Amino acid sequence: MDVFKKSKIWFITGTQLLYGGDAVRQVDEHSQTITRGLNAGALPLEIVYKGAVDSAEEIDSLLKRANTEPECAGIIVWMHTFSPAKMWIRGLKTLNKPLLHLHTQFNREIPWAQMDMDYMNLNQSAHGDREFAHILSRMRINRRIVVGFWDDRETQFQIADWMRVCAAWCDQQTLRIVRFGDNMNNVAVTDGDKVEAEVRLGYHVDYYPVGDLVETQKGVADAEIRDLVETYEAEYLVAQELRSNEAAWRQVWEAAREELAIRRFLEEKKAKAFTTNFDALHGLNQLPGLASQRLMAEGIGFGAEGDWKTAALTRLFSVMGFGLEGGSSFLEDYVLHFKGEGAILQAHMLEVSPSITRERPRLEVHPLGIGGKADPARLVFSAHEGTGVAATIVDLGDRFRMIAAKVQCLALEADLPKLPVARAFWKPEPNLAIGAAAWMLAGGTHHSAFSFDLSFDQLEDYAELAQMELVIIDENTNLRALKEILRVNEVFYRSM
Ligand code: MN
C-alpha cells in the first residue's frame, strides 16, 4: 500500500544543556542506536531520527516542519535526560500529527556496581518523561504512551500497532469515497453529516448517479472481460455445472464487466472506497457483489446501501491491518442463534471480503430475490475462526460515536446448503445477551467493519485523533456501567 511506502515516523529526543555538550553528544549517539535498533525490528513504517532538542526555538521549528511535511505520519518523542517541559509548549500548541511518547531507557537494567552520579544524571528518562507527560496532560494533548525497553519485542509490537494507526489516519485525511446512488430510503443509522465527517475524520464523500458507471461500463472491452474471467477461474472454485450453463456463465461475464467499470471509475476519481445501493442499479445487469468482494480484499473500502461511514471504516481497517494475516470485511448482522451463550450469523446480500476466509471461495451464480435485477455472481465461503473486532460509527446529531465490540468467530454448526452467500458466525463478548444489548444501547448499526487484526488500542488512538467518542464492548462489559459511561459521555463530548 502506497501510504506505507511514502510515510515515515520522526523520532525526537528531548534533552537540555545542563550537563554539558558531552552529555548531549552521548544522548544523540544513544538515540541513533535506538532508532537503528527499532528500524531493524518488524515495524511497518521507517523511523527517521530528527535529533536531540534542547530549546523552545528548536522544538517549535521541528514540530512545525512535522506538521507540514507530507512524509511525516507521526512523531515518537523520548526524554533521554530531563527536558524542562515549558520549552515544548510553543511547538506542541500547533502539533497536528499523531504522537507516541516512548518511555524507555538506553540501558535495560540498573548497572548496580558501576553506577555513579554521571551515569544517573545522563540516564534520567524516569523523571524526564514525567515532566514531558505533564505538559501533554496539562495541554490536553492525546497520545499513545508506550512503556518498555526499546529492544523488547512487546515494546516494538506496541510501536508497530500505533504506526498502523498513523498510516490509516494519514490515508483517511485524503480519502475519497464514491457513492453510486444515495443512502437507502428511510434508513437512519447509516446516514449522517458528511460535512462534519470531513471536518473530524478527514475523508470526502462524492455522489455519482449509477448512469455514470453505466457509461464507463460501455468502454470495457471484451478482451479485458475475458482476461478477468480467466483470473476468476484460476483463483476460485468454479463448478463444471456453472461453466456449462450458458445463461449463468453469461452472468459471470457481466459481473466481470461491472468490476472493470468500477475499477476504472475509482481510479479516475482517485477514490479508495465506494458504496452501492441494491435499489438503484438502473442500467446495470446485476448487483455488483463479486466486484465489491474482490475490491474489498485488495483494501478498497466498501459500504452497502449508500453506507459511506462504513465504507470509510472498512478502508480504515484494511489500511491498519495491511499485510497482516487475519483479514477484514464489511459485514451485517443477520440471523440470531439463541443457543448456549448465543451467536449471530453475519453476512450480506453478497458483499463480504474473501480476505476473512482460509477456504478457497466458490464462484456461484444464483437469484437474489431483492432489487429486481438479473442473477448476480458471488463468492461463497465461511470466515475462519478467531477473535476479531467489529466496529461502526454513528452520527448522534451533535457528534460521532464509534462503537467497537470484541467478537469470537466460530465454525458454523452445520452446512448452509440453501444459503449461497459468504458469511461469518460470531459470538459477541461477553455473550449475546450483554453484547447485543450494549451495542443497541450505544445506537450501533446493523452494518459493521470487521477485522481479525486490530487492537482496541488502535481504535482508541484513532478516536482520540478524531476527537470522537469511543464505546468499547468486550468481556468486561456490564450494562449498568455502560449506561453510566454513556450518560457521562453526553456531558464530556458536548463540552468539546
Ligand atoms: Mn445492508
Cα(168) to centroid of ligand 1, in Å? 25
Cα(41) to centroid of ligand 1, in Å? 41
Cα(462) to centroid of ligand 1, in Å? 25
Q: CB under 8 Å to 301, separation ≥6 — which residues?
A: 175, 177, 272, 273, 274, 311, 312, 313, 314, 315, 316, 318
Cα(184) to centroid of ligand 1, in Å? 9
E-strand stretches of 273-412: 273-275, 301-303, 328-337, 343-347, 362-365, 377-380, 386-395, 400-409
Cα(401) to centroid of ligand 1, in Å? 20
Cα separation values, 493 from 136, 251, 324, 459, Å: 20, 50, 34, 17
Cα separation values, 416 from 112, 297, 343, 412, Å: 65, 23, 16, 9
Cα(348) to centroid of ligand 1, in Å? 6
Q: What is the CB neighbour count within 10 angstroms for residue 57? A: 12
| 3-state secondary structure string across 48-87 | EEEEEECCHHHHHHHHHHHHHCCCEEEEEEEECCCCCCHH
Cα(288) to centroid of ligand 1, in Å? 14
The pLDDT profile of the chain, 496 residues, written as one tens digit per residue, is: 899 999 999 999 998 888 788 888 999 999 999 999 999 998 999 999 999 999 999 999 999 999 999 999 999 999 988 888 999 999 999 999 999 999 999 999 999 999 999 999 889 999 999 999 999 999 999 999 999 999 999 999 999 999 999 999 999 999 999 999 999 999 999 999 999 999 999 999 999 999 999 999 999 999 999 999 999 999 999 999 999 999 999 999 999 999 999 999 999 999 999 999 998 899 999 999 999 999 999 999 999 999 999 999 999 999 999 999 999 999 999 999 999 999 999 999 999 999 999 999 999 999 988 878 999 999 999 999 999 999 999 999 999 999 999 999 999 999 999 999 999 999 999 999 999 999 999 999 999 999 999 999 999 999 999 999 999 999 999 999 999 999 999 999 987 7
Cα(133) to centroid of ligand 1, in Å? 44
Cα(303) to centroid of ligand 1, in Å? 8
With H, G, I as helix, E, B as strand and everything else as coil, classify residue 374.
coil
